[in-house]
Amino acid sequence: MAHIHPTALVDPKAQLGENVTIGAYTIVGPNVRIDEGTSFGAHCVVEGHTTIGRDNKFYSNVAVGGDPQDKKYAGEPTCLEIGDRNTIRECCTFNTGTVQDEGITRVGDDNWIMAYVHVAHDCRVGNKIILANSVQLAGHVHVGDWAIVGGMSGVHQFVKIGAHAMTGMCSALGQDLPPFVMAQGNMASAHGVNLEGLRRRGFSAERLSAVKQMHKALYRQGLTLEQTKGQIDGLKASHPEAVADVELMLSFLAASTRGIVR
């Protein structure tokens, strides 16, 4: 059964799984589902059409499932979906989606989300991501698996951050950040490859070599984007172990709508 502090207010229509913990003065609305093992600290608000998976830990003063901060929002029943095993620290805010997109804001699994992070409407946050303190994601932002966004960074609406990418603290991203690339600054510019992060994730020497070659094609050879794509595609023959990494980069470049960080 759920463990609900006597000062918490949980709507009778809310669905709580086994061993869910609801802390002091926390409010849970009627259209909320929380799966087993998830805990909320004190003074949280969980509202809207919100579905939360298993074994998440929400610290105090988190507000999830609130209406999108979008002037076009007219009360449509949009959603927030959060996966499993996320750590979400104090004072984070996650909003539901809008009908101008798919109507869903999604956060995946195994993410480490530090204090004061904002995840706006229609964001897609993948798995095993780190969002450091006070990161602000505007609407429709997509963040790929294993990405790291440095503290106090801001991300413009519709920007995409590729898998394994990384930004330094206080960065401002106004364009898409390709997979594996490190960026820093306001506005952010590219500063090499996230090699140490890739090594920690078990990338082989051949895969690291392919990542370096992709970075070289993107940033150091003065090629057009179409020329760059062709050169990157050619790495599949010379680096067969890195075919999935090459495909990841090519898919990202094909989907980019705001241009890439240079």
**121 classed as catalytic:** yes
35 is an active site residue: no
Q: How many residues does the chain have?
A: 262
CB 84 within 8 A of CB 66: no
Out of 97, 126, 139, 151, the active site residue is 139
Pick the catalytic residue from 35, 70, 109, 122. Answer: 122
Round to whole Å and give the CA distance between 121 and 105: 6
The residues that bridge with 21 in the sheet, in sequence order, are 3, 39
List 43, 49, 121, 239, catalytic entry: 121
- Please state whether beta strands 148-149 and 3-4 pair in parallel, antiparallel, or not at all (unpaired): unpaired
The residue ranges of DSSP E strands in 76-208, in sequence order, are 79-82, 87-88, 93-95, 104-107, 112-113, 118-119, 124-125, 130-131, 136-137, 142-143, 148-149, 154-155, 160-161, 166-167, 172-173, 181-185, 188-193
Phi, psi at residue 246, to the nearest 5°? -65, -45
**Alpha-carbon distance 12 to 16, whole Å?**
10
Alpha carbon dihedral 229, 164, 189, 186, in 10-degree steps, equals 140
**Active site residues per annotation:** 121-122, 139
